[in-house]
Structure 1
Amino acid sequence: MTISKLYKFRLALFWRLFTNYFIVILVPVIVACILAHVLVIRTIENDAEKLNDVIISQISKQADTALDSLKSNMINMLSSSNLTSLLNIMDESQENQQRAEQFHALKEQLNKLQSDKLVSKVFLYFVNHDLVVDEDIYTDKGYYFTFSYPLDEQQRKAQLSHFSGKKMMDFTDPNKHGMSAVMSYPFNTNNPEVYLVVDFDQEKLKSLISNPEKWVTGTAIASSQGFILNQVGLTDQEGAAVLAHTRSNSKGSQFLITNEVAMSLVKSRFNDSWYYVTIADLGTLMKPAHITRLISWAFLFFFLVVGSIISYYLSRRVYRPIQEITEANEELSQRVSGMSHVLHEHFITKMLLGEYRDACSIENYAKEIAFAYNKNDVRTVLCIAFHYNVTYEQLSEPTKSFLFVELKERICKLSPSPVWLCQTKPEVMACVVLHDSFLHVGAEDAANIISVILEQYSQYFKATVGIGKTVNAIELLHESYELGISVLQNRRLDFEVEICRGPYVGDRAHWDSFLTVQDVNRMFNQCKTREYEKLLQFALDMLDDGLRKNVTAIQIKYLCTDILNTWIRAIETEHDDFNVLFFSKLFERLERSMTSKELKDCFLDIHSVLFRNKEPDQRTKQFTEILDYIHTHYNEELSIEYFAGLLNMSNGHFSRTFKDEIGEKYVEYIAKYRLKMAKKFLLETDYKIDDIAEKVGYWGRNSFIRTFRKYEGITPAKYRTIHN
């Protein structure tokens, strides 16, 4: 029985077990979830609707009670004897004591009415007299509606239009002053003499109809006449929906559900044309229903997953012995196939290094590791030497490994003929190229393509490709490799990627990679006489001479190493602050330099470190220059890091040296000098304290005053006052 048949049989067994589980357990679970979804959620929705109705009913009852109370107070106000007495004596031409007393009593009644929690303003409008009375003043209509109760022309016309006919607490449209109620007196006449106007306090009315429940997003009092008397939290879209429902419906109460909100409307007991409206957030209101729905689906999904796991476990347990045998075979096969690549590279490396030179032995080893080759093929070894730069050294080891894996894949993919790759040394990769007689592709073509690929990695390393000897037998590959390695010695400077072919033919007769005895003695004498610039110039001249004569990189490196070694020997007796570790880092820096520019920069840096002209008063001169700089730039930021960097010192070393040379700490010296200049500004100018603080280098007034008081004992302002 094959593996595919076993897999199909096991899959059929799994579905058989899962079908039994579905019929016996999952079907009842699905029915229970559907019942919960239908019955429980419907019950929650009904409860939510009832709860919303109870809330809006409480709001309407509370608001209607407050309005009924206000209406009673307005009737009592108009029914008072003070208003009747005042109307009886209004026609008297002269002011008298009785009228003044009536006005005073009337204002007290208006003030009492205005103390109602829903009222913001109360006044009496006399129809047949040029008179308006409120709790503070009684005056003519023009003055009142201009200064005490200011209205523009349009608002005044709208307001005066309400003062006609019988009014029994009629409500006006909300305007600049909000909603108002108007009541006429005498009550049963169409030509009343007085109108009582009550302006509602909109904020108090909002607090009366507002609902603190989290699921209530807005409340309102809406009129079927097409306007909203007051609202809390309604959006424009919700307000339009409220007006649409209040105009088209006359039911006592209703509960309307849209896509996202629920709207509850209750008709007012106080006014038949009013509706109390609440807008509820369905997401919050129906949260229990959503949770119940989620639990039911999660319950169903849980049983579905459990059934799948149980069915899978049982089917796996039945075929576990067969599965273990199959997996063992697959694992062994994967290990063998995964190691074959490593074994092949190791085998090629052994051949190139000359450990396998017998054709019969090579053939037997190749059969053991399934390495296929043709004994009669013509091959050439290309040796690729890598010269790593700083960017490569900063990479992690896994990143370096992936980088070379990617490079090998590109070479294998883009090479015009089959190639074998292996790493013979940490810095050398060997590429065995098969010559294709049909396409006339040889080692030269492969080297050119590989050089193009290597140029893409120039940010990590420079590379040199050495073309070895072409051989027609696999046991002679080590000869081709040895020639390729020797050819790498012909590499020159200033090449990102260079191809070296055969023995180097160049003008090397007039070039010596080592210094002569005369050169060494001359350099020692120049060091003793402190002619340091000549030392550097000699090194640069020798480097330029080598570049002009087109000598190899290794020859120039030998010469540079000899020059650096001579420099170190010349100065090691004079300096005791250098050690072996320091000198080894200089040689490492020289070895990492891969171009003529890098070599020149390297010698410039090393020369600046090794040959520092130290005069007896050099340190004193340096600190004198620092003090001059501080005296000139005291109003700027003077960080200790800046001066320490100029002198190649650490911050602590600079601070100690400054105190030894100057006699004061660095921070205290700057502070005292700044205060010296600040006192000069205080006595000789009329600059403000903030300006003086900025001129002497302080960021703010407070830090300047704190430092001044620390050293002088008084504030800058007091110092100026005392000395002036």
Structure 2
Amino acid sequence: MAISKVHKFRLALFWRLFTNYFIVILIPVIVASILAHVLAVRTIEKDAEKLNDVVISHFSKQTDIALDSLKTNMINMLSSSNLTSLLRVVDDSRENQQRSDQFHALREQLMKLQSDKLVSKVFLYFANHDLVADIDIYTDKTYYFNMTYPLNEQQKVDYLAHFTGKKMMDIMDSSSLGMSAVMSYPFNTENPEVYLVVHFDQDKLKEQISIPEKWVTGTAIATSQGEILNQHGLTDKEVKAVLAHTRSKVIESQFLVTDEIAMSLVKSRFNDAWYYVTIADLRTLMKPAYMTRLISWAFLVFFLVVGSLVSYYLSRRLYRPIQEITDENKELSQRMNGMFPLMQELFITKILQGEYQDELSIAYYAKEIDFTYDKQAMRTVLCIAFHYNAEVYDRLSETTKSFMFVEIKELIRKSTPSMVWLCQTKPDVLACVVTHDTFLHLGAEEAADITKLVLESYSQYFKATIGIGKTVNAAEELHESYEQALSVLQNRGLDADVEICRGPLVGERTQWESFLSVQEVNRIFNQHKTKEYERLLESVREKLEDGKDKNATAMQVKYLSTDVLNTWIRAVETEHNDFNVPFFSSLYDRLHSCMTWDELEQCFFDIHRVLFRTEEPHQRTQQFSEILSYIHEHYNEELSIEYFAGLLNMSNGHFSRTFKEAVGEKYVEYIAKYRLMKAKQFLLETDMKIDDIAEKVGYWGRNSFIRTFRKYEGITPAKYRTMHH
């Protein structure tokens, strides 16, 4: 309470100092910033609008001139052409030569018109005759619109519907065919004979309407009927904004800023229904205004920050001793808060292990560590036993393992609607205390199913078994539920990745003999003596299938499997003295790491292949022939006896004896002699240094090479080279 009063007093002092600073310094700064914003920024914005109007006016004037020029060329073409003479002979088959000459003259006029930079295609459509002519061909309408200028049926209907009535450079626009202009001849009749069609080059038209200024992002030609005849650089949002404004009656140039889009609209003098539109990048156009505004605000913020820091420094310096005491108390409080989850988990562990079995002690310790709980509630303990997949799990670092289990705990808490307490009671056991929720109808069975779904996503690292204890009504009885859950775990099987054990207890399950009888042990010894090795493996498989059919527990199966392995080892150890204690120990480790029926069967298959291997003489010869070939190719590398013994599933001693029997020399001597043979070739055939030759033939140093050479040859490598040279 005293510390709180000190903080309030220091805060009041801070505001008093800051108020004086505000009145004396900040108010003039604010006035200066407002003046800069109102006067300088507004002036710059007006200049930017004027610049925009000048540019778009110039742009619209150039475009109008280009379109007026095209219209004039179309009128001149129709006026100066010999269309009247052509119409008289167009259907007369007797005057083919005259018609051809007239079409040739007409083609030259069309080519001249098509040379306009905005034009991509020109043709004449004869309204009362089955004829269409362009610079390349004159033919009937069906052929022209199927082959030369192909249109589908719907396009053809829509397109040909325009060729009615008087046209004075009417604009047609189609999303699929592009923009085109139509003019009829004779000019003043409602039933013209010929229509001159000019298709605009869309790319050239975009170039015509584009503006090279950096602050102009897009341009367009739009109509008051809600159409965009051509556009360059417009986004979908900008297109919608343009259509919305061109439908309204815009009479003169405007500069509009709506929905963060700045646009200018100018009515075309070429066509009263057209508007030239430009979209401006406000950030570029208004950059000077933005910079001025930013500087004024930065100026204001700077003085505001300086005043705050000065006021804070003065108030802090006056009360620094009190602040240090407060910080120490705060740090101590944070450390205590960080330890609470660990202390609470340890507290739950002690309850489950039976160290706190009375209501009073549990309530007292819970209050000390700020652990809130309902004293009277139905709870059930779930024990999750993890059976790790050593091949995958052991590759993880300790940090990764810790984070994985933290993640599992968090997922279980989030996935279970009711309150859940979690604690690690053993290295491979996670206890989960579930509080029953009668409203949600959530009990131990439902919580176990939810936990199973969480654990299934981690099945590559471990096989998990969930044991469900009995339901208790008080926290001091939780150790009974925990003990029963541990007991239930003994019923786990070898099937699922995540298994839920709901009972019964071990003594109540189907009885299955988990040890070998004397008769079965004697049968194994007899089968080994008679070399019925395949029958040994088949007997184990039959036992495992019987256990699977009778739903034997993992513990029962492991007892039987250990008994079988003991008998196998006793049978082979009398004749295979190369198998040592560490080797047998590795077999037991492999057996006990199995988590499923398939892994157990594969384990026995591998052990059987090692203990009861049978090799024909020709097989052994083939194996050692391949080993000798490998030595000859890799004599300069490290060739350990452990590597080859592992390939043949032999111990080091057994491999060494077998190598000598097959090759006639000890393994070490054979490699040494082969390397020296290669070394002598290098000594006599090359000028390589002794050090280089030693490295070339697989020796790590000069001394070991010279020592080995002298042992087998009686002289040093240098003397050998001198004598033979």
Q: How does the TM-score come out when normalised to structure 1?
A: 0.50
Q: How does the TM-score come out when normalised to structure 2?
A: 0.50
